[in-house]
Amino acid sequence: MRDFITVAKALGDESRVRALLALCQRELCVCQIIELLGLAPSTVSKHMSILKQARLVDSRKNGRWIYYRLADDDVPVAASEATAWVMKALSSDPRTRKDDARLKQILKFEPEVLCRRQAKT
């Protein structure tokens, strides 16, 4: 039951669901997620921490950059089923389509460029 409650809480925020959906297709640098969501870096870090705690996502560090991807190792059934449900339920949602289009534009920039641009604001 604990896994279920943790996953349910993690999915209780639109920004976290949007981040999860963005990760369904590829691994992303945190700066790319920041750009997509339009939130402060500290806010995105908190959201990603909650998703990671629910074991919905994993992360890796590469130099200064942190990359997130959907969790694939030791994933509780509640987490894998929830991810599949979110993808199915929201795949044709207008917000999801808008985020997909925005992410295509974001991916044209190297993470280093995005990070430098975000640091200036």
Residue with tokens 């200064």: 64
Q: State how many domains the chain has.
A: 1
**Predicted confidence band of residue 21 (pLDDT cuts 50, 70, 90):** very high
pLDDT at 121 exceeding the cut of 70: no
Residue 95's CB is within 10 A of a number of other CB atoms, namely 12
The per-residue pLDDT of the chain, averaged, comes to: 92
The CATH number of the domain holding residue 12 is 1.10.10.10
* Segments forming the whole domain that contains residue 47: 2-120
Q: What is the pLDDT of residue 65?
A: 86
Q: Positive or negative CA dihedral for 29, 5, 93, 118? A: negative
Helix runs in 11-68, H state only: 14-23, 30-37, 41-53
Give me the percent of the chain exceeding a pLDDT of 70. 99
For residue 65, what are the β-bridge partners?
A: 62
37-87 pLDDT per residue, tens: 999 999 999 999 999 999 999 999 998 889 999 998 788 888 889 999 999
Give me the percent of the chain exceeding a pLDDT of 90. 74
| Residue 74 Ramachandran class (φ > 0 left, ψ -120 to 50 alpha, else beta) | left
